[in-house]
Structure 1
Amino acid sequence: MKAAADTIEQVQLRFGWEAPVALFCVSIVWWENYVDRDIKLGKLNIPLGTYKRHLQSIRSKANIGASIWKIALTVAFSFLLLPRDHFENVFVS
């Protein structure tokens, strides 16, 4: 039973950073729902409203780029997080 508890601790330590990063990345997707105009903080002007309107006009191209980026990240993290012996004979028939 002690071996199972040790394994659970190792998994929690190894993957403890993924949940907060995933939550942060998901919340970034929804920023457009909360912005309707530019933000002014004193003399600092953050043009989020302008950026939102520009992004809406190029939405299809941005989605293509984001899809390619997501595929690249998925492949990269699979190589980083999975043991090397899973990838030795991937491209050999």
Structure 2
Amino acid sequence: MPSPEFVGLVNSLHATAEAALGDLNAATASAARDGLLHESRARQTAQRSLNLLLMLADKTRGNLDFTEADLLTGAISSLRERLAELPAELGH
């Protein structure tokens, strides 16, 4: 049975990255358009969340049930794809 705390942590890190990339709400996207959210900072925030998820995957390898491992792998894959899709001018 998946740990609610683990699921919450993975979902929180994933949501933070998605919000930084402007996907969770119109306010975030509006702030980026208005220059209140710097795009490279948004990318850095998303990358930081991805790095934390990667560290979590490394540290928990072999200790997760199927549901937890699937959730973590999905979050990592999703963020990697999103970051790879960003225009080159946003920098790395």
Q: Which has the higher helix share?
A: 2
If the TM-score is normalised by the length of the shorter chain, which range does it land in? Answer: 0.3 to 0.5
TM-score scaled to structure 2, two decimals?
0.34
Q: Which has the higher strand share?
A: 1
TM-score scaled to structure 1, two decimals?
0.34
RCO greater where, 1 or 2, for CA within 8 Å and sep 6 or more?
2
Greater CA radius of gyration, 1 or 2?
Answer: 1
